[in-house]
Amino acid sequence: MDAYDLITRNAAEVVTEDEVRSLAEDPDGKRAYVGYEPSGVLHIGHMLTANKLIELQEAGFEIVVLLADVHAYLNGKGTFEEIRETADRMREQFVAYGLEESDTEFVLGSEFQLDEEYTLDLHALELETNLSRAERAMAEIQSGDTATVAQAVYPLMQALDIVYLDVDLAIGGMEQRKVHMLARDTLPSIGADAPTCLHTPLIADLSTGVGKMSSSAGVSISMEDSEEELREKVNKAYCPPSRDPEPDADGEDRDNPVLQIFEYHVFPRFGEVVVERPEQYGGDLEYDDYESLASDLDSGELHPADAKGALAEYLNELVAPGREKIRQQRS
Ligand code: NAL
């Protein structure tokens, strides 16, 4: 795979393609970053952007992971002390998941976000941004229904971090795209470049296939799930024998979350998939790529129950090292 294809593999969106092509010409030593609000335990959304970081490490990028303690505080996630403590645990879980420690720089937001120069730059961005734009940028990120002033400052700090961490490529889930668009529009006003961005897809709700999987509502997969819990969650998941399900009774679009997890988690990390089946049901099925697995599900060659069984096992392998780390952290 050439560098551009590896960088953009499974991306929902890149802004802009031309900018990413020019990064792909010489990725060695380029910096890609992602930021996370510290939370106790990684969930499948963190793991999805982490998959992209691991691919970018393979492409030669240096990875910067911002443990966004001040952002979590602004978003009402707890006292500053509580958040600080979870940041350390989260870093260890990312390493257990597979982010090479030697190629990954972990930075705490509060290490630079409380400096005088940063604060004045932040105020300059505040002057340039109207409140409704900041609010819209936070629609898919904010906790709570009504935006606070703190939540309006949040996206401006996220924009400024891109400058202060000196990154070439900003990574985030699709829920971050409006913050990144705000960053592209406002950073030039303080003399900084508009950042190049790559957004990873969101996985559909596990039980319905409608809307987005979320750890705050509905069923999510997390790094502390036991093998048994993973099996139960996956067994109950929505998985019609189709990669492109019909809308539901209310006309809502549906996706197949089981296939999405194969596409965005299993194939990127394992490269191939074996679905074990007894001889009497045709024996094992082997897939070298997502397309062949999806088309077998579509054609009926692969039964959803067999796909789910295999998915639970691969997910278990992905979370096992982090689950062990969490167990140590709690003992
Ligand atoms: C991501 C977050 C916070 C600050 C950032 C700064 C720079 C780049 C990415 C960042 C967290 C993210 C979330 N907004 O929703 O978890």
pLDDT score of 100 = 86
Please, which residues have CB within 8 angstroms of residue 190's CB and are 6 or more apart in sequence? 121, 124, 125, 128, 163
Structural domains in the chain, sorted by start: 3-200 (3.40.50.620), 227-330 (1.10.240.10)
pLDDT score of 172 = 97
CA of 283 from ligand 1 middle (Å) equals 45
- Ligand 1 contact via 38 beta carbon (within 6 Å): no
- Residue 207 pLDDT > 80: yes
- Ligand 1 contact via 35 beta carbon (within 6 Å): yes
Q: Which atom of ligand 1 sits closest to the CA of residue 172?
A: 9
**Predicted confidence (pLDDT) per residue in 22-40, tens digit:** 999 999 999 999 999 998 8
**Predicted confidence (pLDDT) per residue in 6-16, tens digit:** 999 999 999 99
Q: Are 23 and 168 in contact (CB under 8 A)?
A: yes
**Predicted confidence (pLDDT) per residue in 139-186, tens digit:** 999 999 999 999 999 999 999 999 999 999 999 999 999 999 999 999
Task: Check whether 260 is labelled as a binding-site residue.
Answer: no
Average pLDDT estimate for 47-62: 94
Secondary structure (DSSP) of 40-92: SS-BHHHHHHHHHHHHHHHTT-EEEEEE-HHHHHHTT-S-HHHHHHHHHHHHH
* pTM (predicted TM-score): 0.95
CA of 35 from ligand 1 middle (Å) equals 4
CA of 276 from ligand 1 middle (Å) equals 40
